[in-house]
Amino acid sequence: MGQVEYQVQYRILDNLNLYSSPELNSLVTQAAPDRWLTLNPQAINSQNGGERNPEIDSTAPTAPLTVKLLEDEYPGWLDPADWDKLVASETQYCAPVVTALEIKTRLPDAIGFARQAMTVDNQYLWGGTVAPNYDCSGLMQAAFRSVGVQLPRDAYQQESFLMAIAWQDLSHLLEQLQLGDLIFFGTSTKATHVGLYLGDGQYIHSSGIQHGRDGIGIDSLDTTSDDPVSRHYLSELRGAGRVVKSFSPEDVSPPS
């Protein structure tokens, strides 16, 4: 039987984990209720010998399926036990359109979301995008999503999507930064970490165990700080970007 691409879209009803492989042993991302998902055509056509048609068959799958979250085009593997967390939708996902001015007015609430998340007992979770446990880019995505602005999933994708802030040195960068900008850290070739700028040289982020706080905390770009976490991330500073629009699926390529 030839392959047919089905464009059925599903609404997510409950917090959902997606995995990096069909073994389902490594979290790659999460999705909160009211997010959107679709099955990859390959998953549909491989399920039950290629005869599964989700438009007419609501029977739960018997094996992991490859899926894609529609808001950020992020792929992953779905545990068949979580099939009941999805409902097929008669409507289609429509990416939000938000102006730069509207985003600016919403930044205090996005920051408020991150600060509130910090007050709840939490740990760093690779792939985490739902409360209480987040990874760095998952916290950024959740904070902006709480105010109706969609960001890409990973730190390097967020860096590429945002309007870059030009800078020559740290002092110049601090002069350019505005409340709600994202600050990026990593290697010379790729952003691997991100935080949300709070003003006065401070940013809020979710960092891991090895070099961070194993959860959400506030750190500083102050070169005189003797805090080991702040100093570590300052040594990996790449730059910063400003959120001036909400992400649409065509805005970024799939994760690498």
Find the DSSP H helices in the chain: 41-46, 100-119, 136-145, 155-161, 170-176, 228-235
Amino acid identity, residue 74?
Answer: Y
- Check whether 2 has a pLDDT greater than 70: no
Distance between CA 48 and CA 39 in Å, rounded?
A: 14
The percentage of residues in the chain with a pLDDT greater than 90, rounded to a whole number, is: 84
Residue with token string 């999507």: 161
Distance between CA 203 and CA 230 in Å, rounded?
A: 10
pLDDT given at position 60: 79
- Top pLDDT among 44 and 250 is at 250
Coil, helix or strand at residue 230? helix
Nearest to 130 by CA among 39, 16, 239, 2: 16
Domain ranges, ordered by start, for the chain: 9-89, 100-251
161-186 residue pLDDT tens:
999 999 999 999 999 999 999 999 99
Contact 126, 220 (CB under 8 A): no
Angle in degrees, 0-180, between the axes of helices 100-119 and 136-145, rounded to the nearest 10 = 120
243-252 residue pLDDT tens:
999 999 877 5
Distance between CA 57 and CA 117 in Å, rounded?
A: 39
**Rg from Cα positions in the chain:** 19
DSSP tag of 136? H
52-76 residue pLDDT tens:
454 445 677 899 999 999 999 999 9
Pick the CATH number of 9-89 from 3.20.20.70, 2.30.30.40, 3.80.10.10, 1.10.1780.10: 2.30.30.40
Residue with token string 């018997």: 62
pLDDT given at position 72: 96
What predicted TM-score, i.e. pTM, was given to this entire model?
0.91
Chain center to CA of 7:
23
Coil, helix or strand at residue 112? helix
Task: For domain 100-251, give the CATH number.
Answer: 3.90.1720.10
Query: What pLDDT band is residue 40 in, cutting at 50, 70 and 90?
Result: confident
211-236 residue pLDDT tens:
999 999 999 999 999 999 999 999 99
Query: What pLDDT band is residue 47 in, cutting at 50, 70 and 90?
Result: very low
Contact 243, 140 (CB under 8 A): no
For the record, the structure tokens of 80 come out as 């068949």
pLDDT given at position 48: 45
- Largest pairwise CA distance in the chain: 66
Please compute the mean of the pLDDT values over residues 95-108 and round it to a whole number: 97
Q: Edge to edge, what strands does the sheet with 74-78 contain?
A: 27-31, 16-19, 74-78, 65-69, 36-39, 9-12, 86-89
Average pLDDT score, the chain: 91
Residue with token string 């068949």: 80
